[in-house]
Chains A and B, each alone.
Chain A
Amino acid sequence: GIQVEQSPPDLILQEGANSTLRCNFSDSVNNLQWFHQNPWGQLINLFYIPSGTKQNGRLSATTVATERYSLLYISSSQTTDSGVYFCAVSGNTPLVFGKGTRLSVIA
């Protein structure tokens, strides 16, 4: 099956800093989504982005499907951005999740 690797596993930022989270996948996909799990455990869907670029406020994502990676950009980070960010991908199967990047934003 498809393998998903996320990097870095852990990231600590000062409030106001920018960051880039990476998701590599092992096969072609037609579905790629980014999720944020907040410190209370709630999973929120950030982007559906199997290819191209999308932006939502301070967050943006880019997927280069031909090179099998996706990037999540967080600009001007805030303490509320803390949590775990998951990338999930699929071809014609249910979504497979990476192990996540744990982000801690310090005031």
Chain B
Amino acid sequence: NAGVTQTPKFQVLKTGQSMTLQCAQDMNHEYMSWYRQDPGMGLRLIHYSVGAGITDQGEVPNGYNVSRSTTEDFPLRLLSAAPSQTSVYFCASSYSFLSTGGEKLFFGSGTQLSVL
């Protein structure tokens, strides 16, 4: 199993450009999420999905769009990149949103994004 796969690993954008960060998992997880990590801020939730066709906003959703057309894929779109979106982005997945059965959250390897 590949687990959670994120692409690209590094990306440099100019202000105003758009791009999509890809995330795919092969563990048949229902729950998928996107976090951003900034120095001294921990990980903050951007958007999440509890299943195909269902998405919801997290703590810092502005400037980002998501969709979940399949169980496996959960892309994150930056509509018009801004320097404030310079960050490391992590995709994560788990069997269950509530983890009532003890399901752990698994992370991808991250995407380092710089917006100039």
Chain A residues numbered 59-106 whose CB sits less than 8 Å from any CB in chain B: 86, 88, 90, 92, 94-100
Pairwise interchain contact A43-B107, C-beta atoms closer than 8 A: yes
Pairwise interchain contact B110-A41, C-beta atoms closer than 8 A: yes
Question: SS class of chain B's interface: helix, strand, loop or mixed?
Answer: loop
Contact among A42, A86, A94, A98 with B58 in the assembled complex (CB-CB below 8 Å): A94
Tell me the bound Cα distance from A86 to B107 in angstroms.
13
Pairwise interchain contact B103-A48, C-beta atoms closer than 8 A: yes
Tell me the bound Cα distance from A38 to B42 in angstroms.
14
Given A94-B48, A99-B40, decide whether A42 and B109 contact each other with a Cβ distance below 8 A.
yes
Question: SS class of chain A's interface: helix, strand, loop or mixed?
Answer: strand
| Interface residue? B99 (CB, 8 A) | yes
Pairwise interchain contact B109-A31, C-beta atoms closer than 8 A: no
Pairwise interchain contact B43-A97, C-beta atoms closer than 8 A: yes
State how many residues of chain B have any CB contact under 8 Å with chain A: 25
Tell me the bound Cα distance from A93 to B97 in angstroms.
8
Pairwise interchain contact A30-B109, C-beta atoms closer than 8 A: no
Candidate in B41, B43, B88, B100 with the most chain A CB atoms within 10 angstroms: B43
Task: Name the distance in Å between A67's Cβ and chain B's nearest Cβ.
Answer: 21
List, in ascending order, chain B residues with CB within 8 A of A45's CB.
Answer: 104-107
Pairwise interchain contact B45-A94, C-beta atoms closer than 8 A: yes
Residues of B near any A CB (own CB < 8 A): 33, 35, 40-45, 48, 58, 88, 90, 92, 97-100, 102-107, 109-110
